A and B are shown apart, each in its own frame.
Chain A
């Protein structure tokens, strides 16, 4: 069983829809990361959080430490949001465990 589980694996949405991607982890963490990978490979860090909630533009990330669960929300989704979203749990000293990713496609 993967230490970091994401759901769903694949997601197709209509432009404008509200999107939620979920991440559950079984390891002890000091921080939870959300990453975005566009076709072609490059990975960009979206959020790093250890408690509560963070917002950047249309993206919101939340974490519940007690339940070992995090969510990434995208409001008013747009085709340019189409990418793979990866959840990663870091346990200190740069030990990072990655989820397998959620492939999002937003259709115009």
Chain B
């Protein structure tokens, strides 16, 4: 089974801090994604990556950056955390960009910015 592991289930940080959320997948998937999930809004795509060192903006990239130095790891960075970035963050991976393979999700990180 595909395993997508997010480094923290719960995280509390302060306004202005630089925050790193880490995600690792063990199935050699090309594609990796970061979403945030807020009540009433569903999952929204922040960034995705289709290869090492490649990244593309999603629907809501402002205030975030990403890093993919190795195929198995995709990091989400909040450069200067703000209270409106309090949310559930979900990482996902999938195997093939052209064939609608299902995305495999991690357990999520519930991030609170105080």
Question: What is A's interface to B at a CB cutoff of 8 Å?
Answer: 2, 4, 30-31, 33, 35, 40-45, 48, 50, 86, 88, 90, 92-94, 96, 98-101
A-B contacts besides A30-B100, A31-B100, A42-B107, 9 pairs, CB < 8 Å: A33-B102, A40-B107, A41-B9, A41-B110, A42-B106, A90-B100, A94-B100, A98-B42, A98-B44
Contact partner of A100 (CB less than 8 A), chosen from B33, B40, B102, B104, is B40
User: Which of B17-25, B64-72, B74-82, B90-98 lies at the binding interface?
Assistant: B90-98
- Name the residue of chain A whose CB is nearest to the CB of B35: A98
Asked if residues B104 and A92 are in contact (CB atoms below 8 Å), the reply is no
Q: Which chain B residues lie closer than 8 Å to A42 at the CB level?
A: 105-108
Asked if residues A45 and B45 are in contact (CB atoms below 8 Å), the reply is no
B30 CB to closest chain A CB (Å) equals: 10
| A41-B90, A41-B107, A93-B97 given; A86·B42 CB < 8 A | yes
The reply to whether the CB of B47 lies closer than 8 angstroms to some CB of chain A is no
Distance in angstroms between the alpha carbons of A4 and B41 in the assembled complex? 11
Distance in angstroms between the alpha carbons of A2 and B40 in the assembled complex? 11
Q: Which chain A residues lie closer than 8 Å to B44 at the CB level?
A: 98
Asked if residues A45 and B98 are in contact (CB atoms below 8 Å), the reply is no
Interface flags for B37-51 (1: CB within 8 Å of A; 0: not) read: 000111111001010
Q: Which chain B residues lie closer than 8 Å to A4 at the CB level?
A: 42
Distance in angstroms between the alpha carbons of A101 and B9 in the assembled complex? 21
